[in-house]
Amino acid sequence: MELHADLAQRVVLDTTALPWSPSPMAGVERRMLDRLGGEVARATSIVRYAAGSRFERHSHGGGEEILVLEGTFSDEQGNYPTGTYLRNPAGSAHAPFSEQGCTLLVKLHQMQPLDQQTVVVDTLSSDWLPGLVAGLQVLPLHAFGSEHVALVRWSPGTRFQAHGHPGGEEIFVLDGVFQDEQGNYPAGSWLRNPHASSHRPWSEAGCTIWVKTGHLLTH
């Protein structure tokens, strides 16, 4: 299956308007954002676990990256409530489940093989750092090589200078409305800006975004 598989193309999706598709496990559904491959694929998805649903134990040949959007996600290593950021490196395995139900942003088979760090960040209790301009706060989540992942909080009226993205940029809007010269992106929007793209972003109302940069050249 190929869905928005060309990483050189810009993609903007309102994920809240996408249909839910069944997964191989009952009670687990997904909204597919990009995908290259079959059931094992390079993929970015919104995944929803119904209360009490479980996924069979499986390995992640290319790693797994998760942001818990709602509810509590669990596996044999622990429970991960709303706001938790997870990275399970290539070669890891687990049997995930959710007792109360949850919704996740999930990226599969997109990690560099040498990036073997397991990451668990409770973003709701972490300290934010000042951003590069007034009105921005940043919560770094992970960095490896050219790849950087963070949450960025924009106060109302904040504007950022025009800048480029070597290696591209991917954004998921968690709350508020993110903006640039190409449009307005409310909560639930997913953007993928390719290598060497540029823009001048701002937020009139304020917003919080998950943002990943420098990763769209090799995956």
- The whole-chain average pLDDT of the chain stands at 95
**pLDDT on residue 41:** 82
Per-residue pLDDT averaged across 13-17, rounded?
98
Spatial separation of the C-alpha atoms in residues 48 and 51, rounded to whole Å: 10
Q: Which three-class secondary structure state does DSSP give residue 16? A: helix
Which residue shows structure tokens 């290259």? 36
**pTM as predicted:** 0.96
Q: Are 107 and 43 in contact (CB under 8 A)?
A: yes
Furthest C-alpha separation in the chain: 47
**pLDDT on residue 61:** 83
Strand-pair partners of 31: 46
Q: Report the sign of the C-alpha dihedral through residues 192, 195, 198, 202, in that order.
A: positive
**pLDDT on residue 77:** 92
Spatial separation of the C-alpha atoms in residues 79 and 63, rounded to whole Å: 19
Per-residue pLDDT averaged across 112-122, rounded?
95
pLDDT at 177 over 60: yes
Instruction: Tell me: do 113 and 59 sit in the same domain.
Output: yes
User: Does the residue 80 lie in any domain?
Assistant: yes
Q: Are 209 and 178 in contact (CB under 8 A)?
A: yes
The tokens describing 203, both together, are: 């937020």
Spatial separation of the C-alpha atoms in residues 144 and 135, rounded to whole Å: 27
Using CA atoms, how far residue 121 sits from 39, 46, 104, 139, 214, in Å, is 28, 19, 15, 10, 21
pLDDT at 71 over 90: yes
**pLDDT on residue 7:** 93
Instruction: Tell me: do 190 and 140 sit in the same domain.
Output: yes
Q: What DSSP letter does each residue of 97-136 carry, written as one string? A: EESS-EEEEEEES-S-TT----EEEETTSSPPEE-SSTTE
The tokens describing 114, both together, are: 């040498």
C-beta atoms surrounding 90 within 10 Å: 18
pLDDT at 116 over 50: yes
Domain boundary among 71, 92, 122: 122
Instruction: Tell me: do 139 and 197 sit in the same domain.
Output: yes
Q: What 8-state DSSP symbol labels residue 20? A: P
User: Does the residue 142 lie in any domain?
Assistant: yes
As a whole-number percent, the residues of the chain with pLDDT over 70 amount to: 99
Residue 219's pLDDT band, with cuts at 50, 70 and 90, is very low
pLDDT at 47 over 60: yes
Instruction: Tell me: do 27 and 107 sit in the same domain.
Output: yes
**Which residues does 133 contact at the CB level (< 8 Å), separation at least 6?**
158, 159, 160, 161
Instruction: Tell me: do 22 and 118 sit in the same domain.
Output: yes
Give the total number of structural domains in the chain. 2
User: Does the residue 195 lie in any domain?
Assistant: yes
Instruction: Tell me: do 108 and 165 sit in the same domain.
Output: no
Q: What 8-state DSSP symbol labels residue 181? A: T
- Kind of pairing, strands 41-49 and 78-81? unpaired
Instruction: Tell me: do 108 and 149 sit in the same domain.
Output: no
User: Does the residue 11 lie in any domain?
Assistant: no
User: Does the residue 219 lie in any domain?
Assistant: no
Instruction: Tell me: do 23 and 111 sit in the same domain.
Output: yes
Q: Domain containing 143 — which CATH number?
A: 2.60.120.10
Provide the domain limits for residue 196: 129-213
Residue 132's pLDDT band, with cuts at 50, 70 and 90, is very high
Domain boundary among 122, 156, 190: 122
Per-residue pLDDT averaged across 94-123, rounded?
95
User: Does the residue 201 lie in any domain?
Assistant: yes
C-beta atoms surrounding 61 within 10 Å: 15
Instruction: Tell me: do 102 and 25 sit in the same domain.
Output: yes
User: Does the residue 181 lie in any domain?
Assistant: yes
Instruction: Tell me: do 118 and 141 sit in the same domain.
Output: no
**pLDDT on residue 58:** 84
**pLDDT on residue 217:** 82
pLDDT in tens, 183-195: 999 999 999 999 9
**Residue count (the chain):** 219
User: Does the residue 5 lie in any domain?
Assistant: no
Residue 198's pLDDT band, with cuts at 50, 70 and 90, is very high
Instruction: Tell me: do 100 and 186 sit in the same domain.
Output: no
pLDDT at 40 over 80: no
Instruction: Tell me: do 28 and 77 sit in the same domain.
Output: yes
Domain boundary among 122, 145, 179: 122
